[in-house]
Chains A and B, each alone.
Chain A
């Protein structure tokens, strides 16, 4: 019930933040209407970082405590993160074409490392399908999740470390946070979208976690059923063989 209320609040928040970003906040003087894409693009990237951070921390927790609930949380983070990374890339492409003149440029470190991040976590999700053993799957996934998380700071700092088309980081520079160069209206619109997307993110994580837990228990029930069936057929075979002795 609480999750349903959270979902409803998140929906209202996203609608409100989108209406604000699309119709209330004025267009940028230089970029025009294309700048409105920044609100959903930056928010998607923020959610992707947070999701993969959850996957890495939950994976680390699993390796320490061997609790499958942490593996379910890691899975939820990875799946939601993959979706929002794809959204961030899409939003960036839609902004890049009218502002940069290109949808994509492989020479740009931010774009390339983000594409790598997406590939790494798609690999993480595919790896989970390789085995039915929950403990083995969780341990392997935790290790891969931790290795893949190395790319998160690389993506974030790529715009500082290397030169490319992409502008500097939107977050992470304290001087910029305290004295933003953008007008306050733009900053507030971005913060509103970040807050709305964070609500959506929490809702999605909870729902995906619930699904992972139920599916894991169903897998367990199916495995127990297969073991019982195998034992039954083995006993049946033994009783058939008995008279022949």
Chain B
């Protein structure tokens, strides 16, 4: 693999990983907020 290939692999995994983690967090937050609404308590966005 050339140096450019290593650069692409590094940036791809790191930046792609950040995007995936953000998507995962937002999805889990959405599910948790839905569940908190179903529970009916005052469980909205934390301070």
Establish whether residues A94 and B29, one from each chain, have CB atoms under 8 Å apart when the complex forms: no
Establish whether residues B33 and A91, one from each chain, have CB atoms under 8 Å apart when the complex forms: no
Establish whether residues A33 and B15, one from each chain, have CB atoms under 8 Å apart when the complex forms: no
What 1/0 flags go to B27-43 for Cβ under 8 Å of A? 01100110110010101
What 1/0 flags go to B1-38 for Cβ under 8 Å of A? 10110110111011101100110011011001101100
- Sort chain B's interface into a size bin: 20 to 34
Contact partner of A204 among B6, B22, B32, B36, CB < 8 A?
A: B22
Establish whether residues B25 and A7, one from each chain, have CB atoms under 8 Å apart when the complex forms: no
* Total CB contacts across the A-B interface at under 8 A: 92
Establish whether residues B6 and A37, one from each chain, have CB atoms under 8 Å apart when the complex forms: yes
- Sort chain A's interface into a size bin: 35 or more
- Mostly helix, strand, loop or mixed at chain A's interface? helix
Establish whether residues B7 and A87, one from each chain, have CB atoms under 8 Å apart when the complex forms: no
B43 CB contacts on chain A under 8 angstroms? 214, 217-218, 221
Establish whether residues B6 and A83, one from each chain, have CB atoms under 8 Å apart when the complex forms: no
Which residues of A come within 8 Å of B, CB atoms? 7, 14, 18, 22, 32-34, 36-37, 40-41, 44, 69, 72, 83, 86-87, 90-91, 94-95, 97-98, 200, 203-204, 207-215, 217-218, 221
Which residues of B come within 8 Å of A, CB atoms? 1, 3-4, 6-7, 9-11, 13-15, 17-18, 21-22, 25-26, 28-29, 32-33, 35-36, 39, 41, 43, 45-47
